[in-house]
Amino acid sequence: MSRLIIGAMIRTLGAYPSGWRAPGAHRDPRGDAAVLRRTAEVAEAARLDYLFFGDWLATGEDLAYRDPYLLARVDPLSAVTYLAGLTSRIGLIATANTTYADPYTLARATASADLLSGGRIGLNLVTGSEARTAGNHGRDARPSDDSRFDRAVEFEQVLRTLWDSFEDDAIIADAATGALLDPSKLHATDFDGRHLNVTGPLNAVRPVQGHLPIVHSGTSPRSRLFAAQNADLALVAVSDLEHAIAVREELRALAFESGRDDRTLKVIAPVLPIVGETRAHAQSIADELSELVQIAEDWPDAPPPAFPADRSLAQLSSLLGVDVSHRSPDAGVTTAVVAGFSAVGQELVEIVAERTGRSPSGDRPPTLRHLVVAASVNASMIVGTAEDIASEFEAWSDAGAVDGFNVLAATHPAQFEAFALGVAPELQRRGLLATEYEGTTLREHLGLARPDNVHARAHEVAAHAGSLRPGVRAGGAGGAGGPGGAGRGIEPASWHP
Ligand SMILES: Cc1cc2nc3c(=O)[nH]c(=O)nc-3n(C[C@H](O)[C@H](O)[C@H](O)COP(=O)(O)O)c2cc1C
């Protein structure tokens, strides 16, 4: 039984769109500091490996209905730096968008946070953008998929090379001789790529972790290739166990073909557990959350223009293959009605039954509202007791489907603490989560070696070959941490200056 990597993806207003409406739930982002503090304390006591902060560089009224936690949130780097001061062992992962960020500024901020945290920071690199994000950054259009990933590849290489500006022993600090620095161990970056030109060196000492663990989340083919070639953790969106096994196999094969030790790539799936004292209790929580999700028919005339179009009886009718748009959303759906549904409709009825315990043949049949919500709210939900949830984690681990999970809490604090205080101890009992932090850095929690300094390796190669001038690069191709890059501790011969 190998231990899983267990992190929590923090969404303070809850990861379920109606989570903030649940009784006692945190619902005002102006109070996020206290929730973040409490969440970090509980997560570290539960020995979770890390807290993960996604990011979205735009906002608008639509998010209030679809993804409320995105409406107004603390910037991920501020969150991890703040929590680094309040915790001592748990990892802290922030998200940055390589399409819009500046590599020098980001390298400096992340190297600083890693120093301040004692080596506990990770960096999730995303490239995606929507029109609003482009507009917020003075760009008139979304970059093409290829150009955003071509830039991301250069960006990741520049980050690693900037982080390696100071070799670990570059600072001498000898008061007697007045020697503060060994200048031969401070390296320029001199990156000259198609998208990025960075001279360096970075004005921050090398991170405690050498290079921060790189995370990448995405679904497109370019995204998977980027993760396979450059990431330590790949966050995947998967629909079920079989899909997860296939995606992990594909990512590991891509990593191997890129010249990496594919075991160094950890595949992490998001999961949204609803935890109750009994299964029926958990189902009642899921049922209440489902009923709190607003649908178009809740407005007497018409929903607001920004309201999600797919959250309506009209949209549901097209999925069911039966016109239910004129019926009450709270009308029970009986077995006879379900018999006329399409295959998709039947599947929705099963999803609702699994989550809420509502059955068309029972005394609490599902309503059309439940079916609208099941169809329009995307969530990898598991509903049950702490043992039920832990057994599902164990089954995915045994099947080789994942290396770990990013746990999303439907509500804060209730469901987050139900997981941390209920499921985490059960995972520890089964050997799936450590009972104590074995190391002090995020790399150690993730079982990742500390990479060599690309320039120091170049020194060795140069000393050996008598030719190479470290730090001067012939252009963007080939990189410190990219495919075959020495940044991964892969033999220097594969690193092309
Ligand atoms: C599990 C998961 C989490 C994600 N989190 C973010 C995020 O926090 N911010 C973001 O801009 N994109 C996020 N994305 C979207 C992709 O990371 C992003 O667009 C990436 O560049 C790959 O995109 P593509 O699959 O659209 O090519 C996430 C995707 C997945 C599967």
Q: Does the model's pTM come out above 0.95? A: no
Ligand 1 center to 40 CA (angstroms): 24
Which of the listed residues 149, 217, 268 should we mutate to test ligand 1's pocket, taking the one with most ligand atoms within 8 A of CB? 217
Residue 226: predicted pLDDT? 97
Is the Cα torsion angle 290, 292, 293, 295 positive or negative in sign?
positive
DSSP-derived 3-state class of residue 371 = helix
Ligand 1 center to 128 CA (angstroms): 6
Q: Could you tell me if the CB of 54 is within 6 A of ligand 1? A: yes
Residue 243: predicted pLDDT? 95
Q: Could you tell me if the CB of 143 is within 6 A of ligand 1? A: no
- For the chain, how many residues are written? 497
Exposure of 113 by Cβ count < 10 A (0-12 exposed, 13-18 middle, 19+ buried)? buried
Ligand 1 center to 169 CA (angstroms): 37
Residue 178: predicted pLDDT? 98
26 phi-psi bin (left φ>0, alpha ψ -120 to 50, beta other): beta
Residue 461: predicted pLDDT? 61
Exposure of 160 by Cβ count < 10 A (0-12 exposed, 13-18 middle, 19+ buried)? buried
The pair phi, psi for residue 108, each rounded to 5°, is -70, -45
Q: Could you tell me if the CB of 67 is within 6 A of ligand 1? A: no
Ligand 1 center to 60 CA (angstroms): 18
Nearest CA to ligand 1 atom 8: 54
Q: Could you tell me if the CB of 219 is within 6 A of ligand 1? A: yes
The pair phi, psi for residue 374, each rounded to 5°, is -60, -30
One pLDDT digit (tens) per residue for the chain, 497 residues: 579 999 999 999 999 999 999 999 999 999 999 999 999 999 999 999 999 999 999 999 999 999 999 999 999 999 999 999 999 999 999 999 999 999 999 999 999 999 999 999 999 999 987 889 999 999 877 788 889 999 999 999 999 999 999 999 999 999 999 999 999 999 999 999 999 999 999 999 999 999 999 999 988 999 999 999 999 999 999 989 999 999 999 999 999 999 999 999 999 999 999 999 999 999 999 999 999 999 999 999 999 999 999 999 999 999 999 999 999 999 899 999 999 999 999 999 999 999 999 999 999 999 999 999 999 998 899 999 999 999 999 999 999 999 999 999 999 999 999 999 999 999 999 999 999 999 999 999 999 999 999 887 666 666 655 543 333 333 333 333 333 333 333 333 232 22
In whole angstroms, give the CA distance from residue 453 to residue 203: 16
